[in-house]
Amino acid sequence: MNDLFKDKLSTIVSDELLIASLRAVFDERIEKEKPQILEIEDNASLGERYRAYEVAKILVEEAFKDLKNYETGKKPIKGFNKER
């Protein structure tokens, strides 16, 4: 990944509200895709769909852990007051 992307990710990760909002969107989508038990479905098919659901949750969690690696600890500059 190039430095421009890393710098942008660092900026995004420093915004706690933005990260929480993104996590909420992903969590909501995953919950909408939670497998439903259908009467015409066999256990093997339901198991495969449930495993895919669980793997998706793990992948999203791992992605947010990866994003945290881009956190630099630097606070963004809020601005400069010229009147002082």
Torsion on CA atoms 11, 16, 21, 23, rounded to nearest 10: 90
CA Rg value for the chain: 20
The rounded mean pLDDT for the chain is 85
Q: What local confidence, expressed as pLDDT, does residue 37 receive? A: 84
Rounded Cα distance between 67 and 12, Å, is 9
In angstroms, the CA 22 to CA 25 distance is: 5
Domain-by-domain residue ranges, the chain?
8-68
Which pTM value belongs to this model? 0.70
* Predicted confidence (pLDDT) at residue 35 exceeds the cutoff of 70: yes
| DSSP letter assigned to residue 74 | P
Task: Assess contact for 30 and 53: CB atoms under 8 A.
Answer: yes
Per-residue confidence band for 39, with pLDDT thresholds at 50, 70 and 90: confident
Per-residue pLDDT at 74 exceeds 70: no
